[in-house]
Amino acid sequence: MTKQSSDDPQIEPFKGPAGGWGSVRSLADILPREHLGPEGYRELARQNKPDGFMCVSCAWPKPADHHPAEFCEEGAKATAWELTRYRTTPEFFAEHTLTELRGWKDYDLEQHGRLTHPLRYDPDTDKYAAVEWEAAFDEIGGALKRLDPKSVVFYSSGRTSLEASYMYGLMARMFGNQNLPDSSNMCHESTSVGLKAAIGVPVGTTQLKDFKETDAIFFFGQNVGSNAPRMLHDLRDCRKRGVEIVTFNPLKERGLERFTDPQNPVEMATLKETAISTQYHQLRAGSDIAAIIGICKFLIDWDDLAKADGDLPILDHDFIAQHTKGFEDFAAAIRRTEWADIERETGLAREELEASARIYAKAKAVMAIYGMGITQHVKGVESVRMIVNLLLLRGNVGKPGAGPTPVRGHSNVQGQRTVGITEKTELVPVEKLEAQYGFKAPREKGLDTVETCRGVIDGSVKAFVGLGENFLRAVPETGRMEEAWPRLDVSVQIATKLNRNHLFAGRVTYLLPCLGRIEQDAQASGPQAVSTEDSTSCIHGSRGKAKPASPYLLSEPAIVAGIAKRILDDNPKVDWDGWVADYSTIRDAIEETYPAIFKDYNKRLFTPGGVWKGNKASERIWETPSKRAEFLTPGDISATGFKDADGRYRLITLRSNDQFNTTIYGYHDRFRGIKGTRDVLLMHEADIAAADLAEGQIVALESDADDGVHRRRNGMIVTPYDIPRGCLGAYYPEANVLIPVEHHAEESHVPAAKSVPVRICP
Ligand SMILES: Nc1nc2c(c(=O)[nH]1)N[C@H]1C(S)=C(S)[C@@H](COP(=O)(O)OP(=O)(O)OC[C@H]3O[C@@H](n4cnc5c(=O)[nH]c(N)nc54)[C@H](O)[C@@H]3O)O[C@H]1N2
Ligand SMILES: Nc1nc2c(c(=O)[nH]1)N[C@H]1C(S)=C(S)[C@@H](COP(=O)(O)OP(=O)(O)OC[C@H]3O[C@@H](n4cnc5c(=O)[nH]c(N)nc54)[C@H](O)[C@@H]3O)O[C@H]1N2
Ligand SMILES: [Mo]
């Protein structure tokens, strides 16, 4: 096993573009690192293509007219990570106690390789030992059935296929709860709540074809070069047509600066780079509402002037009158906001916002692309709504080349919601499910992620079943969560690799290994396919062909069925075994529940480019209470939810270019020039001097929430970085110990991981 030490930090600015030779060099390392030979290349060639498998990394759409290689460096890492030749076997667990493994780093745990056997934790030895599947299901089922259904949580991450997700949600409801938190609760739930309220759909309105018709792209808080790199091709093509790209991000992210297409021989040979952003505004964390208010202020002023002078209007008054509600209040609030407040909050000069407003005013069709820099704030929902406000001013929703474009995270996170993974009753056709399966579905709202954390800490949650996650690492408040976890009666994790969550046991604890999406899933009727929905609402079939990591693995649908059969009474209307034998029958059931979206599901499964599920707002049909698109008058100019104070910083928790969420692929954040460590504390040089610190000094961070809880992270290396003053950067998940569980977006409960109040302790 190769272990990468993290005690040789090297920090120097990276000068290359996103993509380019750096990407090719990195790619060349990826397969050998996991000891993969030709089979690795064979799988990469099938990635994201019709009749291939859909990438297990991000949710960016898979085009019908695909590139010869329709994967990026990050996608290749994800594939290699799953296909690795390394194995974590029962012999490994015989040698290591969980107490010892808790001293290992996230990287070392997962890098050790794929889990091979179902495992049961033995508190007497403090070790996992192999068990038979049937025995595991029996004990899990028995233990869960002894509990009040309301105290049991069924978490899943958005990687889980539509088929497994549908079964999982149904199992929870038949068991008697809607405790179905998922990764969306930590991610784009602010989008689901904000867009639904504003335009009547919980998802973005654009598709890939809109990149061909847009005039300008406004980019907020999404790191495309690391987290959705295939979008760089679309952005590069936009730039070639002269499309303006205006970016708002506290950090200068390389993928938003310049790109060399590694698949273009001419670009590679000539080192030709495409500049991506035409304007780059390094605003302070949590100040997007203020920045957009500034832009709107110019637009509204110019429109007032045009009206007075009899010139052509700046705003689309016909659209506003015909399609929207709340404009007058909104405009009045914008007019009232003082420039001094906007400049102080954003750290940007008025002229910079004027330059952005000019581009917006000139463009005929504007897309607004955004990610976690928007959603993960106390005012995350308002931030999303502020983006919509901006778009509505010139009718930039529901026309070609325009619209909100949230970039979803996990490869099927949007799809999970489509098929019933949600704690909210109003998002599921409960009556339909009741008729289809002959049971009484719960109406009481279930627990989301934040509520689950609260429940684990206060003891009201007694059992946790996790499908494809590292919950204990991804959530806020990891210190108190780790302390509380052993009080659970039941902890069941369904996973491909060992992670830190698995090292915290409850009274009955199982670690169940499953097939990954790239692997062949053979069932009674033959090899199976699954499906996923991408960020633009297109549904794709996915077929795994690689040899499974171990003969003892079960598929996710088979594991869900195994548990369901033990915790539910027999019901002739649900044939769990039949579903597992032939997944096309699960799809028939999904089609019956959701006939409009999944019409001819099995027939259309492998449609190139996917099957678009439709989007009312993109046709300007607004399914809001007022039947109009709604402006929201912002309440607070800052999205952070706390006041600035002396010595208090806004901490941004970041992903590196060498990780997928809690999965750490290595210690090289190439684009940021950080190598060999994840313990950096990114800080403005002037702030370092003002705080009397020195580059390389080791400090601690403490959370600065006044709730009486002491939260601290030691061993952070002060690292000068191009980041706005008053803001700090540190990596997620290591920094999660600093986030109070109650520091979350108000309406959506997304942990506010992009502006955490902290202090530095030298
Ligand atoms: N390779 C790889 N791909 C991934 C993932 C991964 O971990 N690795 N994760 C997947 C998942 S689940 C998700 S949700 C997405 C996440 O992808 P992103 O949405 O890109 O999420 P982050 O990397 O957390 O941060 C986004 C950006 O927000 C900026 N930012 C921070 N605070 C603010 C702010 O207040 N305002 C603005 N305007 N910007 C801010 C940061 O500097 C950063 O560039 O990617 C998915 N794809
Ligand atoms: N501070 C801070 N916290 C954050 C964020 C942040 O930006 N900052 N981002 C949040 C976001 S956006 C998200 S989405 C969450 C993500 O958090 P999680 O939902 O926990 O997702 P992952 O970290 O991707 O889960 C990793 C584990 O999934 C398992 N796995 C991998 N492939 C499979 C598979 O095919 N099947 C199964 N069953 N298991 C598999 C592996 O064992 C691996 O250890 O974290 C959130 N937490
Ligand atoms: Mo996410």
Q: Give the residue-averaged pLDDT of 263-283.
A: 87
Distance from the CA of 187 to the center of ligand 3, in angstroms? 4
Residue with tokens 């108190």: 480
**8-44 tens-digit pLDDT:** 778 888 888 888 888 878 888 899 999 998 888 899 9
**How does pLDDT run across 368-411, given as a tens digit for each residue?**
999 999 999 999 999 999 999 999 999 999 999 999 999 999 99
Q: How far is the CA of 661 from the centre of ligand 1 (A)?
A: 10
pLDDT at residue 4, as a whole number: 45
Whether residue 296 contacts residue 315, with contact meaning beta carbons closer than 8 Å, is answered with no
Report the atom number in ligand 1 closest to the C-alpha of 228: 47
Distance 462 CA to ligand 1 centre (A): 32
Pocket probe for ligand 2: among 119, 163, 186, the residue whose CB has the most ligand atoms within 8 Å is 186
Average pLDDT score over residue span 697-715 = 95
pLDDT tops 50 at residue 3: no
Q: Whose CA is nearest to atom 24 of ligand 2?
A: 661
Kindly report the protein residue whose alpha carbon is nearest to atom 18 of ligand 2.
469
Q: Is the pLDDT of residue 331 over 80?
A: yes
Q: Longest C-alpha distance within the chain, in Å?
A: 84
Residue that has been written with the tokens 């018709």 in this structure: 213
CB distance 126 to 98 below 8 Å:
yes
pLDDT of res. 556: 98
Using the mean position of ligand 1's atoms as its centre, give its distance from the Cα of residue 371 in Å: 6
Pocket of ligand 2 (CB under 6 A): 110, 157, 159, 183, 186-187, 372, 376, 409-410, 467-471, 474, 494-497, 499, 514, 516-517, 556, 653, 660-663, 732-733, 735-736, 739, 753
pLDDT of residue 12: 84
Find the DSSP H helices in 146-223: 162-175, 189-199
pLDDT for the residue numbered 2: 40
Q: Give Cβ neighbours of residue 535 (< 8 Å, ≥ 6 apart).
A: 59, 60, 61, 204, 228, 405, 406, 407, 408, 414
pLDDT interval class at 230 (50, 70, 90): very high
CA of 191 to the centre of ligand 3 (A): 12
Q: Average pLDDT of 747-759?
A: 98
* DSSP secondary structure string for all residues of 229-296: TTHHHHHHHHHHTT-EEEEE-SS--HHHHEEE-TT-HHHHHHT--EE--SEEE-PPTT-HHHHHHHHH
369 class by beta-carbon count within 10 Å (0-12 exposed, 13-18 middle, 19+ buried)? buried
Q: Tell how far the Cα of 227 is from the centroid of ligand 2, in angstroms.
A: 13
Mean pLDDT of 200-214: 97
> With a 6 A CB cut-off, is 660 part of the ligand 1 pocket?
yes
223 lines ligand 1 (CB under 6 A): yes
Give percent of the chain above pLDDT 90: 90
337-364 pLDDT, tens per residue? 999 999 999 999 999 999 999 999 999 9
The pLDDT > 70 percentage for the chain reads 99
At residue 551, the pLDDT reads 98
Per-chain mean pLDDT for the chain: 95
| Residue 120 · residue 510 · CB < 8 Å | yes
| Residue-level pLDDT at 235 | 95
For residue 652 and ligand 1, the question of a CB distance below 6 A is answered with: yes
- Mean pLDDT for 288-301 is 98
What domains are there in the chain, each with its CATH number? 10-82 (no CATH), 88-184+420-522+542-606 (3.40.50.740), 188-407+640-762 (3.40.228.10)
Atom of ligand 2 nearest to the CA of 736: 1
* 8 Å CB contact between 669 and 709: no
pLDDT grade for 263, boundaries at 50, 70 and 90: confident
Indicate whether 49 pLDDT > 70: yes
Q: How far is the CA of 191 from the centre of ligand 2 (A)?
A: 19
Residue 5 pLDDT level (bands cut at 50, 70, 90): very low
Q: What type of residue sits at position 354? A: E
Q: Tell me: pLDDT of 549 over 60.
A: yes
Is there a contact between 409 and 59 (Cβ–Cβ < 8 Å)?
yes
Question: Could you give the strand order of the β-sheet that contains 403-406, starting from the edge strand earlier in sequence?
Answer: 279-281, 244-248, 216-220, 366-370, 403-406
Task: State the pLDDT at residue 6.
Answer: 53
